[in-house]
Structure 1
Amino acid sequence: MAPLCMGLWIGSAGIGYIIAEISTFGIGHIKSSLETWRVMFLIWGAITVAWGVVLFFTLPGSPASRKIWKTEERAGILDRIKDNGTGIKDKNFKFEQVKETMLDLKTLLLFMFAVSFNSPNGGLTAVS
């Protein structure tokens, strides 16, 4: 599932860049006492904060609290979680899990791919 999610994320990044560039072009033509870059950061920052508030109140804390699934769908999801041994909710920090993650080759490669792909994109799109 992780490769599919990563592919969808990276594949849709181009659409996001197009929308952001068109919006930023429009924001750049706003006449204000502030510099254009400050106005841009204020607008995009306000959108980010507003979206964070929406997600805070709409995303479920766990599959058990999600209301749109039927009872049998929820039971199937919880059974699948039980089968893979990840658990539903555990707030205890376990250093062994951090060590296991850091030594996992697939996780390390996905991390390196994401950093190497997104680092130049962030700098290039913010400056151009």
Structure 2
Amino acid sequence: LAWNGLNNVLRHVGAMKGEVQTRASLGLPPAVIIDGRDPGNIVVSPEDGLFEVMLEPGDPVKAGQPVGRLWFMDKPSRAPELLCSPVDGVVVVTRAIPITEQGDCVFVVGTVIEREAIL
């Protein structure tokens, strides 16, 4: 993204040959802006355990839909707890390290917003 952006700026000001590349010219869909700043979009681990991701960043999600499972290593016979999305949106962050402690962020859900909302 940064490399393509730099090349486009250089093309735009005439310092580099070629046409400015747009998402449309590359066959890509329009860009979307995803807002994940609301603290209510952040899900933390309710207990120590092993977090299993069920969805990946970029996946759409509905409120109440499971995004991951928390397994309890100290009690293997205990059923895993489903950790669900608090809102409709898009998964933007998932925990990379499975071992988690109570209070660790395990995933974040962002909501699609219009450009005007941030200006």
Q: TM-score, normalised by structure 2?
A: 0.24
The answer to which structure has the higher helix fraction is 1
The answer to which structure has the higher strand fraction is 2
Q: TM-score, normalised by structure 1?
A: 0.23
